[in-house]
Structure 1
Amino acid sequence: MKKMILVLMLILTANLFGSTAIDWGYPFDIQGHRGARGLKPENSMVAFEEALEIGVTTIELDLAVTADRVVVVYHDTTLIPTRVRKDGTFISEPILIKDLTYEELVQYDIGSIKSADVWPRQLQLEGIRIPTLNEVLLLVKEHNEKSENEVFLNIEIKASPLAPDDTVPLEEFVDLVIETVREASMEGWVSIQSFFWTALRKIRDIAPEIPTVALVSSSNLIDSAWTDGLSMIRFGFDIARMASEIGARILSPADTFVSQSLIERARAYGLQ
């Protein structure tokens, strides 16, 4: 596909860096960031249901892995005190998700935020738990079986080469995600994105049928640990060439990087 997919940002989205790998045949791919973050608690089943209801074409979400190796949907490697409660009280310190079993994790409530004015239209709800990736896959799969308008998933592997101990080992993380997607038979409706490009290379090697998305920010371009060892200097500051080198199908830069030149370079390397 030679045209770039332009992502339409709705009120429910914020800081959107993802783009689906699927050619919809439409000029816009409408992504629900963290489900429908502006309207419902982020990365929750109610947010994903809301996104389907209002008619997004892609749902964007983030992944973590528990101590007992369950792939769950959460934006950070730790439970965030301003967004997570237990027994009605906001937690006082971050808690690594990798240190909690799934049974322990579901005891936490993600239905409200401490400073509700940050997202004034987001409903504050009680008893909202962190879902598994499998639950979200099956939700979208059921929707697609009943609807003429298929919805895709753009999922992000949240891991850092600078803090490897904050998550399960990257190779295991990737294996678990691919296994979960395949068990749900959703390979054709998923793209996987990451700022940590080593994850994308691993996906290319073990699941080439799943499109990968190279996320780009000023942070992950500075340190080649993020870009699978690829140096900006060695590649002549050609971001598109770097993304192509690791087998990404989509280049998804922060808006400050977008230019006509970058778009042309991406097209030249066959990237969306």
Structure 2
Amino acid sequence: MTLIYGHRGARGEAPENTLPSFRRALDAGVKRVELDLHLSSDRQLMVIHDPTLRRTTGLGGKVAHHSAADLMRIDARRGGPDWPELCPIPSLEQLFTACPEFEHYQLEVKSGSAGQSRIVLDAVTKLVERFGLQDKVVLTSSSRTLLKTARDSGFSLPTGLVEEYGLIDWIKSCKRYGCDYLILNWKLCSAQRVASAKAQGLHVSVWTVNEPALMQRLVDMGVDSIITDFPHLAVDTLADSRG
């Protein structure tokens, strides 16, 4: 059975990476979610996609230049679906506290130095242990630096390679860095590629999948999970495909 992950919560239905967006995914019955992490100036894990505030808040500056307390007061509704109430940037701790119903998280970390990667890995480890989520989290990234740091440091959680452009041998890279997941841009998918990855024991997760016909095509290819902006649509589509 193909699993469904809400992309940044339910990005097509509510402001991305905010608590209302994650609750929309839960409302659809989707209990798996993909989200993005950046560090605040005081080294707290914040749930936001971009390194800067401009696109989702309209403010200038970098996430890393603000404290967690300040970021959690900033409204992040800009550029998303209309929403009637304020949608502050949440911390990962806040998300874990507010939405305990989730069964699995893909936590995507953007690129950074080895030093910054170690800070992120340590922060994720401590928070996951505190909430008892060791079996419910995979840390993903397109950053080879982060994945190498995770491998070399004995990071205890599963990891996944995010691949958008198809310029390298994904399976070889996953094996090199000890990854359990391969997260692919859907445009890179073929039945043969999916089968090859799965034969190596990789969970193949595909993003961003928003059209019913595409959802069905990817299910037929054998992907393990799809990541979608529209969890309600995905639930209805896959329910129909399963009869």
TM over 0.5: yes
Task: Report if the CA contact (8 A) 2:111-2:145 is conserved.
Answer: no
Higher RCO (CA 8 Å, separation ≥ 6 residues):
2
Q: Are 1:104 and 2:70 matched, yes or no?
A: yes
The 1:77/1:68 distance shift into structure 2, 3 A limit, reads same
Q: Which structure carries more helix by proportion?
A: 2
The corresponding residue for 1:248 is 179
Task: Report SS of the residue matched to 1:52.
Answer: helix
Size of the aligned set, in residue pairs, is 203
Shift of 1:107: 3.1
What value does the CA root-mean-square deviation take over the aligned residues? 2.2
Q: Which runs of 5+ in 1 are unaligned?
A: 1-26, 85-89, 114-118, 144-149, 223-231, 233-237
Indicate if the aligned counterparts of 2:138 and 2:157 stay in contact, CA closer than 8 A: yes
Distance 1:154 1:263 in 2: 19
Structure 2 residue 93 is matched with structure 1 residue 83: no
Normalised by the size of structure 1, how large is the TM-score?
0.68
Distance 1:124 1:57 in 2: 22
Note if contact 1:137-1:186 (Cα within 8 Å) is conserved in structure 2.
Answer: no
Instruction: Name the counterpart of 1:212.
Output: 159
Are 2:162 and 2:183, in contact at CA under 8 Å, matched by a contact in 1? yes
Q: 1:67 aligns with which of 13, 37, 41?
A: 41
User: Is residue 50 of structure 1 aligned with residue 24 of structure 2?
Assistant: yes
Assess, with a 3 A threshold, how the Cα gap between structure 1 residues 48 and 65 changes in structure 2: closer, same or farther. Answer: same
In 1, the alpha carbon distance for the partners of 2:201 and 2:155 equals: 16
- Mark the runs of 5 or more structure 2 residues left unpaired by the alignment: 204-243
In 2, distance between residues paired with 1:261 and 1:245?
21
Alpha-carbon spacing, 1:136–1:106, altered in 2? closer, same or farther (3 Å):
closer
Larger radius of gyration between Structure 1 and Structure 2: 1
Find the counterpart in structure 1 of residue 106 from structure 2.
154
Work out the CA distance in 2 between the residues paired with 1:268 and 1:42: 34
Give secondary structure in 2 for the equivalent of 1:37.
Answer: coil
**CA–CA distance in structure 1, aligned partners of residues 66 and 164 of structure 2:** 30
CA distance in structure 2 between the partners assigned to 1:156 and 1:70 by the alignment: 15
Deviations 1:87-142 (A, max 9, x none): xxx43x3x1111111122233211232xxxxx5xx23234221111012122333x
- Normalising by the residue count of structure 2, what TM-score does the alignment of the two structures yield? 0.75
4+ runs of 1 displaced by more than 4 Å? 205-209
Bigger drift between 195-204 and 242-251 goes to 195-204
Q: SS at 2:10's partner residue?
A: coil
Is 1:30 matched with 2:29?
A: no
Identity %: 27
Is the Cα contact below 8 Å between 1:111 and 1:125 reproduced in 2? Answer: no
SS of match in other structure, 1:191 = strand
